[in-house]
């Protein structure tokens, strides 16, 4: 996972939730055959999210980085519902990425173009 300025508190909270999912996944899987997972969603425009300093820039950055763009909240809801399917009956104790590929992308062409454009503009001045 990546670290982002002004997002450290939320990053720490999410890390705790992922740890809880692994611990409870072990316990509840063994005792009750219950699956426990977490989902890491793309940056999503919510009341809480937009309260983060620099959120709009982060949102645009993630959208340009992800090969499929940011996943909308509605698509994340669909993804959550799919986890109730028997097709995912052996998926447990995982942090599942739902981010359009953002978490696995080093750098995208869109970001390279933006940096090149900025560098060219600065050099011309």
pLDDT, tens only, 64-118: 999 999 999 999 999 999 999 999 999 999 999 999 999 999 888 888 888 888 8
pLDDT of residue 48: 80
Q: Which tokens in the block code for residue 51?
A: 């309260």
The H or E element that residue 40 is part of is: strand 38-41
Residue 56 clears pLDDT 80, i.e. is over it: yes
Mean pLDDT of the chain: 91
Is the pTM above the cut of 0.75?
yes
Q: Which CATH number fits domain 8-119: 3.40.50.2300, 3.90.1300.10, 3.40.50.720, 3.40.50.1000?
A: 3.40.50.720
The sign of the dihedral angle between the CA atoms of 82, 23, 15, 48 is positive
Domains of the chain by residue range: 8-119
pLDDT (0 to 100) of residue 1: 65
HSE on the CB side for 48, CA within 13 Å? 5
2-67-58 Cα angle (round to 5): 45
Helix and strand counts by DSSP (H, E) for the chain: 4, 2
Question: Scanning the structure block, which residue is given the tokens 């969603």?
Answer: 41
């Amino acid at each position: 996972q990546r670290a982002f300025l002004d997002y450290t508190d939320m990053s720490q909270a999410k890390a705790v939730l992922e740890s809880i999912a692994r611990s409870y996944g072990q316990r509840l899987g063994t005792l009750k055959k219950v699956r426990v997972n977490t989902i890491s969603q793309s940056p999503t425009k919510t009341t809480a999210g937009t309260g983060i300093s620099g959120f709009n820039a982060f949102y645009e950055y993630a959208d340009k980085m992800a090969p499929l763009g940011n996943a909308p909240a509605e698509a994340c809801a669909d993804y959550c519902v799919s986890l109730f399917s028997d097709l995912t009956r052996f998926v447990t104790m995982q942090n599942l990425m739902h981010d359009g590929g953002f978490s696995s992308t080093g750098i995208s062409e869109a970001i390279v173009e933006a940096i090149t454009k900025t560098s060219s503009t600065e050099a011309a001045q």
